[in-house]
Structure 1
Amino acid sequence: MTGFRVGVMNPLVATRPTAEWLTRVDYLGALGARVDSFWVPDHLNSLLPRSLWTPKYCGAAKLVPSIGADLEPWTMLGHLAARNRLGRLRLGVGVTDTGRRNPAVTAQAAATLHLLTRGRAILGISTGEREGNEPYGVDWSKPVARFEEAMATIRALWDSGGELVNRDSPFFPLRNAVFDLPPYRGRWPEIWIGAHSPRMLRATGRYADAYFPFVPHRPVDYQHRLDVVRTAASDAGRDPMSIIPAVWLPVVTGRSRDDVDEALDSEVIKSYALIAPDEVFARHGARHPLGAGFSGAPDILPHTMNEETALSQAAQVPSTLLREIFLNGTPDEVIEQAAQWRDRGVRYIVLDNLSFSQPSLRRGLASVQPFNKIARALKRL
Structure 2
Amino acid sequence: MAEKIQVGLASDPLNTTLSPTALIKANYLTAVSSGIDSLWVPDHLNSLLARAIATPENLGIARVVPKVDAYLEPWTILGHLAARNRIGRLRLGIGVTDAGRRNPAVTAQAAATLHLLTRGRAILGIGAGEREGNEPYGVDWHRPVGRLEEALATIRALWNSQGQLVTRDSPHFPLRNAVFDVPPHRGRWPQIWVAAHGPRTLGITGRYGDAWFPGFPQTPDDYANRLDVVRSAASDAGRDPMSILPATWLFIITGRSRDDVDAVLDSDIARSFALNISADFWARHGVRHPFGDDFAGFSDVLPQTLDAADVLAAAAAVPRKLMEAAFLTGTPDDIVDQAAEWRDYGVRYFVLGNLSVLQPNLRRALRAGVPLGRILRGLRKL
TM-score surpassing 0.5? yes
Give the gaps of 5 or more residues in structure 2: none
Which residue in the other structure is 2:238 paired with? 237
Which residue in the other structure is 1:163 paired with? 164
Task: Report the residue type matching 2:136 in the other structure.
Answer: P
Task: Report the residue type matching 2:281 in the other structure.
Answer: V
1:153 and 2:154 matched: yes
1:12 and 2:13 matched: yes
Deviations 1:234-253 (CA, angstroms, capped at 9, x unpaired): 00000000000000011110
Which residue in the other structure is 2:207 paired with? 206
For residue 86 of structure 1, report the CA deviation from its aligned partner.
2.5
For residue 259 of structure 1, report the CA deviation from its aligned partner.
1.5
Which residue in the other structure is 1:67 paired with? 68
For residue 287 of structure 1, report the CA deviation from its aligned partner.
1.2
For residue 2 of structure 1, report the CA deviation from its aligned partner.
3.1
Deviations 1:319-349 (CA, angstroms, capped at 9, x unpaired): 1000011111000100111011001000000
**TM-score (normalised: structure 2):** 0.99
For residue 87 of structure 1, report the CA deviation from its aligned partner.
2.3
Task: Report the residue type matching 2:336 in the other structure.
Answer: I
Which residue in the other structure is 1:228 paired with? 229
| d(CA) in 1 for partners of 2:290, 2:14 | 27
| d(CA) in 1 for partners of 2:361, 2:327 | 19
For residue 199 of structure 1, report the CA deviation from its aligned partner.
0.1
Which residue in the other structure is 2:313 paired with? 312
For residue 318 of structure 1, report the CA deviation from its aligned partner.
1.5
Give the gaps of 5 or more residues in structure 1: none
| d(CA) in 1 for partners of 2:226, 2:328 | 20
For residue 261 of structure 1, report the CA deviation from its aligned partner.
1.4
For residue 163 of structure 1, report the CA deviation from its aligned partner.
0.2
For residue 285 of structure 1, report the CA deviation from its aligned partner.
1.7
Map residues 174-213 of structure 1 onto 2, 5 A cutoff.
Answer: 174-213=175-214
For residue 83 of structure 1, report the CA deviation from its aligned partner.
0.2
1:373 and 2:374 matched: yes
Task: Report the residue type matching 1:126 in the other structure.
Answer: G
For residue 262 of structure 1, report the CA deviation from its aligned partner.
1.9
For residue 357 of structure 1, report the CA deviation from its aligned partner.
1.0
| d(CA) in 2 for partners of 1:31, 1:259 | 25
Deviations 1:75-113 (CA, angstroms, capped at 9, x unpaired): 000000000123210000000001110000000000000
Which residue in the other structure is 1:24 paired with? 25
| d(CA) in 2 for partners of 1:206, 1:2 | 23
Deviations 1:192-218 (CA, angstroms, capped at 9, x unpaired): 010001000000000110000000111
Which residue in the other structure is 1:256 paired with? 257
| Matched position secondary structure for 2:297 | coil
| d(CA) in 2 for partners of 1:291, 1:146 | 27
| d(CA) in 1 for partners of 2:77, 2:14 | 11
| Matched position secondary structure for 1:229 | helix
Task: Report the residue type matching 2:113 in the other structure.
Answer: T
Which residue in the other structure is 2:331 paired with? 330
| d(CA) in 2 for partners of 1:331, 1:86 | 26
Task: Report the residue type matching 1:78 in the other structure.
Answer: G
Task: Report the residue type matching 1:104 in the other structure.
Answer: A
Task: Report the residue type matching 2:177 in the other structure.
Answer: N
For residue 279 of structure 1, report the CA deviation from its aligned partner.
1.1
| Matched position secondary structure for 1:16 | coil
Task: Report the residue type matching 2:332 in the other structure.
Answer: P
| d(CA) in 2 for partners of 1:39, 1:71 | 13
Of stretches 340-349 and 276-285 in structure 1, the one that deviates more from structure 2 is: 276-285
Which residue in the other structure is 2:139 paired with? 138
| Matched position secondary structure for 1:349 | strand
| d(CA) in 2 for partners of 1:256, 1:38 | 26
| d(CA) in 2 for partners of 1:99, 1:317 | 32
Which residue in the other structure is 2:278 paired with? 277
For residue 21 of structure 1, report the CA deviation from its aligned partner.
0.4
Task: Tell whether the 8 Å contact from 1:284 to 1:318 is kept in structure 2 after alignment.
Answer: no
Which residue in the other structure is 2:293 paired with? 292
For residue 12 of structure 1, report the CA deviation from its aligned partner.
1.1
| d(CA) in 2 for partners of 1:249, 1:295 | 19
Which residue in the other structure is 1:46 paired with? 47
Deviations 1:120-174 (CA, angstroms, capped at 9, x unpaired): 0000000100000000000000000011100000000000000000000010000
For residue 275 of structure 1, report the CA deviation from its aligned partner.
1.4
Task: Report the residue type matching 2:76 in the other structure.
Answer: T
For residue 284 of structure 1, report the CA deviation from its aligned partner.
2.2
1:108 and 2:95 matched: no
Which residue in the other structure is 2:247 paired with? 246
| Matched position secondary structure for 1:261 | helix
Deviations 1:254-313 (CA, angstroms, capped at 9, x unpaired): 011122012111111111111111111112221111111211011100111111011011
| Matched position secondary structure for 1:32 | helix
| d(CA) in 2 for partners of 1:196, 1:273 | 18
| d(CA) in 1 for partners of 2:309, 2:76 | 36
Which residue in the other structure is 1:33 paired with? 34
Of stretches 137-146 and 256-265 in structure 1, the one that deviates more from structure 2 is: 256-265
Task: Report the residue type matching 1:279 in the other structure.
Answer: D
Task: Report the residue type matching 1:106 in the other structure.
Answer: T
| d(CA) in 2 for partners of 1:363, 1:288 | 29
Moved over 4 A (4+): none
Which residue in the other structure is 2:352 paired with? 351
Aligned residues: 381
| d(CA) in 2 for partners of 1:47, 1:228 | 29
